[in-house]
Amino acid sequence: MLTVRCLNQQDLPSLLFLERKSFVSSWVEQQLANQLDHSRGLSLGCFDEDLKGFVLISTVLDEAEVLQIAVDPERQGEGLARTLLDTAIVYLKAKGVNRLMLEVRESNMAAVSLYRSYGFVEDGLRKGYYPSSQNDGAREDALLFSYRF
């Protein structure tokens, strides 16, 4: 059975493993540990026996930013990212947040499609923000999105 809950320090090894499996440029272990303890952070995990997806969010006053969202490549396309976002939005609304922001690789069409289906609006571009996923020294643009509750 699929469950979503807040992540804690006991989840750090699983979070670290999935984060490294999901991103070209991963965070160091201490950054993830700090996020799990951050008083203005929201760290949710989607579990089916073990960690299958996560979202890491930072909040400041009435705004929040998705720092990372990832789903195990073997489970992508099953709606886990949507489940994580649904849960995060309910939590953020209850905390008085009214705007959620994020950035995404321009080439990540599955994520771009998901965000647009929620009503996220593309409102910026960061040229050459991400290192290429091909490790060829090239850079990839980041699309900036925001969503008002």
Residues annotated catalytic, as ranges: 103, 115
CA 72/CA 66 separation, integer angstroms? 17
User: Within 13 Å and on the Cβ side, how many CA atoms surround 93?
Assistant: 9
CA distance from start to end of the chain: 29
**60: β partners:** 63
Please report the DSSP string for 19-41 in residue order: HHHH-SSPPPHHHHHHHHH-TTE
